[in-house]
Structure 1
Amino acid sequence: MRLAKYVTTLLLCLGISATTQAAETHGRILVLLSGENQLPLKEGKTYPTGYYLNEFGVPADGLQKAGYELVLVTPNGQAPSVDQRSVNPLYFGGNNAEMLRIQSVVASLPGIDKPHKLSDVLAGDLSEYDGLLIPGGHAPLIDLANDPQVGELLKYFHSAGKPTAAICHGPITLLAAQDAPQDFETGLIQGNTPQAKNWIYNGYRMTIFADEEERIFEDSLNGDKIRYYPAKAMVTAGGELSQAKAWSPNVVVDRELITGQNPFSDHALTKALLEQLQNRR
């Protein structure tokens, strides 16, 4: 009792309340990001990409404010890149100051320049993480959707019933949680209709960047084409897609899975993730 009283007194002297201290110990969230920044297109061309600033920064900000520690990881431990198209006040309600604030939040995250390597995380104790966040941008199409180690990570959160939240193109990562995800991806790229094998999210309700939204993006590529459309890929795998009007916020929750359709779903996805985390406490 004397020690507890001493600690409380010390915290008060430092200007830190016991409530604040408690808020800082809610748990840890793993943030899975792509480490790549050149999206392969058809005919061997590429497009510079990365994570979308608001799709990463808005949930990160909300989670930190709620007292969660964020642990960043990429497949090979390389630093993630921001998609420069996303550094735009458009994705922050037209508020340039808010965009700059979120930029600062992301820049100050521990591990932003040197995230953990996925194999190291898998070799550790996954039970220490309370949830998984997968930001969007086109980058997950490069090195997350086809990685069996990513599938191993997803299977843990799925079997443990812990929240997995993915936004915009982030949900394409879910395709890794099947047998032979690389073969499935190859079939998609070849224009076939591949069969997902033992996909853990088969029959789940979900959403992802809509075909209509993807076509609008593709129109900006001066005639170049992406290798496959993510929404069609999710349906092919066995997902039950729920899409809203293009560019409208849309979040779908099914069991432990939380998915957001597009960049404008960032705040709704953050709210849904925090609610699931709160319900598990």
Structure 2
Amino acid sequence: MQTKKVLFVLTSANKAANGKITGQWMEEFAAPYYLLSDNGVDITIASPKGGAITVDPLSLQPQFMAPSVERILEDKVALNRLQTTLKLEDMNDADYDAIYYPGGHGPMWDLPQNEKSIALLEAFHNSGRPTALVCHAPAALENVKDVNGQPLVKGKKISAFTNSEEIAGNTTDMVPYMLEDMLIEKGADFVKGPDWLPFSVQDGNLISGQNPASAEFVGRKVLAALGIDIATPQEA
């Protein structure tokens, strides 16, 4: 079987408007990265600016130290890839079978208006290829359109970081808007599970997850959509 290729799109943002350090949430990158790569998927990592990305320091604190995070902190090859991401502008959607956006607050600041990101998301989704995002990364869908020129999320089931999680986490000053509100305003059928527990949803080829704990389940749905079979544990 031909090797499947997945494009990971990361954020180049490293500060929120309030000046606090933000960036990529490590578990949301690491969990799908290992899930896919361990199952034979070839991963390319790109970001708007290319080069080194910033990992949100909070995501490396002990309370967020998921097994995938522990693993990547000992993985010099993977860590080097986060320091040498390719430029998003140079990516050709035809080279990949699926696209995945991990979250963190960073994606809310540099991806919604990024024309290349918008074009890639439209190309993947409108051609029926798996298009996956988790936590705050669905902000990248804000200006993405379907083949009829309507918001891509309109009428589709989608999950993302919820208002209640943003409030409970005391991070409302880290975002330009409440993500749940934006998606609903765009016409999405917003679905969610209990705060902080794994929850993901698939509507056609659009795959989304609610929070960091959901990243592995998003990765599993991507594998399934690519025709790669692994055991799927029950999720909340």
Q: Look up the match of 1:212.
A: 164
Contact conserved, 2:198 with 2:211, CA < 8 A, in 1? yes
Deviating runs (4+, > 6 A) in structure 1? Answer: none
Q: Look up the match of 2:233.
A: none
SS in 2 for 1:108: helix
Number of residues paired by the alignment? Answer: 227
Shift of 1:88: 2.9
Bigger Cα displacement from structure 2, 102-111 vs 269-278: 102-111
Contact conserved, 2:59 with 2:65, CA < 8 A, in 1? no
Q: Look up the match of 2:154.
A: 202
Identity %: 29
SS in 1 for 2:72: helix
Contact conserved, 1:218 with 1:226, CA < 8 A, in 2? no
Unaligned runs of 5+ in 1: 1-21, 180-196
Contact conserved, 2:16 with 2:174, CA < 8 A, in 1? no
Once residues 68 and 39 of structure 1 are traced to their aligned partners in structure 2, the CA distance between those partners, rounded to angstroms, is 33
Larger radius of gyration: 1
For residue 55 of structure 1, the aligned residue among 6, 28, 35 is 28
- TM-score, normalisation: structure 2: 0.87
Unaligned runs of 5+ in 2: 230-236
Q: Look up the match of 2:181.
A: 232
Q: Look up the match of 2:83.
A: 113
Once residues 124 and 32 of structure 2 are traced to their aligned partners in structure 1, the CA distance between those partners, rounded to angstroms, is 18
SS in 2 for 1:172: helix
Shift of 1:203: 1.1
Q: Determine which structure has the larger helix proportion and give its number.
A: 1
Q: Look up the match of 1:33.
A: 10
Residue 154, structure 1, aligned to residue 131, structure 2: no
Once residues 234 and 115 of structure 1 are traced to their aligned partners in structure 2, the CA distance between those partners, rounded to angstroms, is 28
Question: Which structure 2 residues correspond to residues 248-259 of structure 1 after superposition, within 5 A?
Answer: 248-259=197-208
Contact conserved, 2:105 with 2:174, CA < 8 A, in 1? no
Q: Look up the match of 1:262.
A: 211
Residue 102, structure 1, aligned to residue 72, structure 2: yes
- AA at the equivalent of 1:75: P
Once residues 153 and 225 of structure 1 are traced to their aligned partners in structure 2, the CA distance between those partners, rounded to angstroms, is 26
Contact conserved, 1:140 with 1:173, CA < 8 A, in 2? yes
